[in-house]
Amino acid sequence: MAEWTRGAKVGLFALVCVGAGYGIWKFINPSAGTSGGYTVHAYLNDASGLATYSRVMVAGIPIGNVSGIRLEHGKARVDVKVRPEIALHTDASLSKRASSLLGEFVIVIGQGNENQPTLHDGDEIKNVIEPTTTDQILKDVGEIAEQVKAVSKSLAGSIGTDKGEKDIQATLANLAEVTDSLNKAIKENRESIRRIVLNVEGISGRSGPEIQQILENVRVITSEVRTLVSENQPDGQKGPMGAVRNTVDNLNKASVDLQAALAHVNSITGRIDRGEGTIGKLTKDETLINEVNNVVEGVGDFVGGISRTQTVIGLRNDYNFQSNTIKSYLELRLQPREDKYYAIELINDPRGKTSFEQVDVDTTNPNQPPHYREIRTTTSNAFRFSFQFARRIGPLTGRFGIKESTGGVGLDLHLLQDRFEIRQDLFGFGEQLQPRWRFALSYEFLRRLWLISGVDDIFNRDRRDYFLGLQLRFIDEDLKSILPFAPKM
C-alpha cells in the first residue's frame, strides 16, 4: 500500500508540473494575443536591431510582433503579425525606432486614414519611413561648412580688396565736388539774396503784428513737433525719434558683431585649410583618419557582439524516486554564437555537498594502534553551482568546467531538430572514490517545455537514484514579450 501511495504522489506531482508549465508557456508565448490576426509586410533598407518577435507598437501600445525577417529583392522583408481587432489602412506608415541603448529596435506603425480601405492578410505597407543615419548628418554638416566658407570669401572679396577702397575714395571725391559747386552758386547769387532780404525786411516792418502771430503759431507747432519726436513722451514712454535712435544703435552694434563673427569664421576656416587644430588634422592627417575609422569599427564590432548574444534561462525541478526528494535548478546560458555558449547553474540538491578529509592520528592509547589514519566525510546542506564552457560540433556538444561545485565534463547528443537530447555528465571526482556519472534523456514535448528523466550516480550502487522532472527554457525574446506587461514599481 505504501509503494502505491508513493507512485500516486509521483503521478500527481507530474500532472501538476505539466499543468503549471503549460500555463506559464501560454503566458510567455510571444505570439499571445495575435491568434486569428493577419500578417502584413514591408521592405526596409536596414533591419539591424530587429529580431523575430520584436514588438510592434501603435501610439506606444503593443499590437503585435515581428513574425519573420528575410532578404528579398536586395532589401529586408519584415513580416508583421497584427491583432485581429486592429485595422490598418492602405496609407498606413511603418518605421523602425530604437527602444534602448543596447541596439534593440521596435516597429512603429501609423494606422492611416479611416476613410481609406483596410489592409488584409499578405498586403504590403508601402509608406516606409527610414530613420536618418549618422552618415547623412555628417554629410549635411559638411555642406553647411562649405556654404559658410563661401559667404566669408564673398564678403572679404567685396570689402577687403583694393577695388573696394578705391570705390570709397571716389564717393568722397564726388561729395567734395558737390560742396564746392554749392559754394560757387551762393557767391554768384549774393546780390539777389540781399534784395530778397531787404524785401522781407520791408514786408516784416509793415506786417509786424501778423508776422508776430505767425511766429507764435510756429513756436507752438515746433513745440508740439519737438514733443512728438522726443525720445521720452510726457507719460514716460519712448517717442518715435527715441525708437529710431535705438534702432540705429542696434544696427551699428549688429554690424560690429557681424564683422567680428566673420573674422572668427575666416580664422577657423583658414586653420582648417592649413590642417591646424583637431578638425584640421581630421581633414588632413590620413593616419589619424585611419585610426578614427579603426576605433569606430572596433566599437561597432563590440556593440554588434553584445546585440548578437542570446540569453537562455532554464527553470528545472527533478523528483528523485529513491530518496523521495526534489532537486531544483536555475540555469543562465549566454550564447554569443550558434556553436558555443557559457552555462551558469545554481542547484539546490537535497543530498548536500559532500567533502572528504584524511587525518593521520598518533596516539598513546594502548587499546589503539600507535599510528592510524581516519577518513572523515562531511556533508553540508549548501547550494551548488556550475560554470561550464560548451562547444558544439554537428549533433554533439562537449562541455567542461565546474559541475555542481566540482570539476566535471559533459557530452550531449541532439536529435529530432534539437528537440530530443541525450545528456551525460561526469563530475564529483573529489567527493567519492568513484566519480558521479549522470545519464539523462530530454524531450521538448511543448514549445519551451522539456520532460527529463534519467539515472544519477550510476557507479555508486548505494547512492544511485532515478529521477523525473520538467524544465522550462525561455530566451531573451520571450522576456521582451513579458516585460512590457510587468507591473511598474
Is 199 among the domain residues? no
- Res 440: pLDDT: 96
Residue 418 C-alpha cell reads as 534539437
Identify whether the C-beta of residue 111 lies closer than 8 Å to the C-beta of residue 127. Answer: no
Q: Looking at the structure, do residues 302 and 320 belong to the same domain, yes or no?
A: no
Phi first, then psi: give them for residue 42, nearest 5 degrees: -150, 160
Q: Looking at the structure, do residues 286 and 407 belong to the same domain, yes or no?
A: no
Instruction: Give the tens place of pLDDT for each residue, 227-246.
Output: 655 655 555 555 555 665 67
Task: Give the model's confidence band at 18: pLDDT under 50 very low, under 70 low, under 90 confident, else very high.
Answer: confident
Instruction: Give the tens place of pLDDT for each residue, 262-289.
Output: 787 777 777 777 767 666 666 666 676 6
Is 269 among the domain residues? no
Is 443 among the domain residues? yes
- How far is 121 from 373, CA to CA, in rounded Å? 79
Is 23 a residue whose pLDDT tops 70? no
- Res 409: pLDDT: 94
Task: Give the model's confidence band at 129: pLDDT under 50 very low, under 70 low, under 90 confident, else very high.
Answer: confident
Identify any residues that bridge with 230 across adjacent strands, giving them in sequence order.
none
Is 476 among the domain residues? yes
Among the listed residues 402, 413, 415, the one whose alpha carbon sits nearest the alpha carbon of residue 439: 413
Q: Looking at the structure, do residues 350 and 302 belong to the same domain, yes or no?
A: no
Task: Give the model's confidence band at 166: pLDDT under 50 very low, under 70 low, under 90 confident, else very high.
Answer: confident
Q: At what angle do helices 134-159 and 240-274 cross, to 10 degrees?
A: 110
Q: What share of the chain in percent tops pLDDT 70?
A: 74
Q: Which residue has the cell 536529435?
A: 415
Among the listed residues 212, 246, 214, 240, the one whose alpha carbon sits nearest the alpha carbon of residue 225: 240
- How far is 56 from 44, CA to CA, in rounded Å? 15
Domain of 74, in residue numbers? 31-129
129, 149, 175: which is the final residue of a domain? Answer: 129
- Res 386: pLDDT: 93
Pairing status of strand 127-129 against strand 93-98: parallel
Phi first, then psi: give them for residue 48, nearest 5 degrees: -65, 145
Mean pLDDT taken over the chain = 78
- How far is 113 from 384, CA to CA, in rounded Å? 60
Question: Across residues 73-80, what is the average pLDDT?
Answer: 89
- How far is 405 from 387, CA to CA, in rounded Å? 9
Is 37 a residue whose pLDDT tops 60? yes
End-to-end CA distance of the chain: 51
129, 149, 176: which is the final residue of a domain? Answer: 129
Identify whether the C-beta of residue 406 lies closer than 8 Å to the C-beta of residue 429. Answer: yes
Instruction: Give the tens place of pLDDT for each residue, 250-264.
Output: 777 877 887 887 787
Task: Give the model's confidence band at 318: pLDDT under 50 very low, under 70 low, under 90 confident, else very high.
Answer: very high
Q: Looking at the structure, do residues 300 and 369 belong to the same domain, yes or no?
A: no
CB-based burial label for 313 (10 Å; 0-12, 13-18, 19+): middle
Is 195 among the domain residues? no
Is 150 among the domain residues? no
**Backbone angle region of 82, left / alpha / beta, with phi > 0 → left and psi within -120 to 50 → alpha:** beta
Q: What is the number of structural domains in the chain?
A: 3
SS (H, E, C) the chain: CHHHHHHHHHHHHHHHHHHHHHHHHHHHCCCCCCCCCEEEEEEECCCCCCCCCCEEEECCEEEEEEEEEEEECCEEEEEEEECCCCCCECCCEEEEEECCCCCCEEEEEECCCCCCCECCCCCECCEEECCCCHHHHHHHHHHHHHHHHHHHHHHHHHHCCHHHHHHHHHHHHHHHHHHHHHHHHHHHCHHHHHHHHHHHHHHHHHCHHHHHHHHHHHHHHHHHHHHHHCCECCCCCECHHHHHHHHHHHHHHHHHHHHHHHHHHHHHHHHHHHCCHHHHHHHHCHHHHHHHHHHHHHHHHHHHHHHHCEEEEEEEEEEECCCCEEEEEEEEEEEEECCEEEEEEEEECCCCEEEEEEEEEECCCCCCCCEEEEEEEEEECCCEEEEEEEEEECCEEEEEEEECCEEEEEEEEEECCCCEEEEEEEECCCCCCCCEEEEEEEEEEECCEEEEEEEECCCCCCCCEEEEEEEEEEEHHHHHHHHHHCCCC
Q: Looking at the structure, do residues 288 and 365 belong to the same domain, yes or no?
A: no
- Res 24: pLDDT: 63
Question: Across residues 202-224, what is the average pLDDT?
Answer: 75
Largest CA distance in the chain: 166
Is 126 a residue whose pLDDT tops 70? yes
Q: Looking at the structure, do residues 75 and 93 belong to the same domain, yes or no?
A: yes
Q: Looking at the structure, do residues 297 and 316 belong to the same domain, yes or no?
A: no
Task: Give the model's confidence band at 404: pLDDT under 50 very low, under 70 low, under 90 confident, else very high.
Answer: confident
Task: Give the model's confidence band at 303: pLDDT under 50 very low, under 70 low, under 90 confident, else very high.
Answer: very low
Task: Give the model's confidence band at 35: pLDDT under 50 very low, under 70 low, under 90 confident, else very high.
Answer: low
129, 146, 171: which is the final residue of a domain? Answer: 129
Q: Looking at the structure, do residues 331 and 479 belong to the same domain, yes or no?
A: yes
Q: Looking at the structure, do residues 325 and 464 belong to the same domain, yes or no?
A: yes
Question: Across residues 355-378, what is the average pLDDT?
Answer: 74
Whole-model pTM?
A: 0.38
Question: Across residues 455-467, what is the average pLDDT?
Answer: 89
Is 334 a residue whose pLDDT tops 50? yes
Is 151 among the domain residues? no
Q: Looking at the structure, do residues 283 and 387 belong to the same domain, yes or no?
A: no
Identify whether the C-beta of residue 355 lies closer than 8 Å to the C-beta of residue 431. Answer: yes
Q: Looking at the structure, do residues 323 and 302 belong to the same domain, yes or no?
A: no
- Res 229: pLDDT: 57
Q: Looking at the structure, do residues 456 and 339 belong to the same domain, yes or no?
A: yes
Question: Across residues 332-356, what is the average pLDDT?
Answer: 84
Question: Across residues 431-445, what is the average pLDDT?
Answer: 86
Residue 224 C-alpha cell reads as 508740439
Instruction: Give the tens place of pLDDT for each residue, 468-483.
Output: 999 998 886 666 555 5
Is 408 among the domain residues? yes
- How far is 35 from 31, CA to CA, in rounded Å? 7
Is 67 a residue whose pLDDT tops 80? yes
- CATH code (residue 427): 2.40.160
Q: Which residue has the cell 554638416?
A: 141
